[in-house]
Amino acid sequence: MGTNVCETLQISSPSFSAGDNIPKKHTCDGEDINPALEIGDLPEETKSLVLIVNDPDAPNGNWVHWLVWDVPPIHFIQENSSPGTVGMNDFGYINYAGPCPSLGTHRYFFRVYALDIDLNLSSGSNKEQVYLQMENHIIGTGQLMGLYSH
Question: pLDDT band at 2, cuts 50/70/90?
Answer: very low
The domain segmentation of the chain, as residue ranges, is 7-148
> Which pLDDT tens digit goes with each residue over 96-113?
999 999 899 999 999 999
Higher per-residue confidence, 75 vs 3: 75
Dist CA 57 CA 32 (whole Å): 19
CA-to-CA distance for 86 and 82, rounded, in angstroms? 7
Among the four given CATH numbers 3.40.50.1010, 3.40.109.10, 3.90.280.10, 3.20.20.210, the one describing domain 7-148:
3.90.280.10
The contacts of residue 80 (CB under 8 Å, 6+ apart) are 31, 33, 34
Which region, left, alpha or beta, applies to residue 102 given φ > 0 means left and ψ of -120 to 50 means alpha? Answer: alpha
Cβ contact 141:9 at 8 Å: yes
Q: Which residue type occupies 1?
A: M
pLDDT tens-place string over residues 48-58: 999 999 999 99
Residue 88's alpha-carbon distances to 14, 34, 67, 128, 134, in angstroms, are: 26, 15, 7, 10, 16
Q: How far apart are CA 96 and CA 90, in angstroms?
A: 11
> Given the DSSP bridges, would you call strands 37-40 and 10-12 parallel, antiparallel or unpaired?
antiparallel
pTM: 0.94
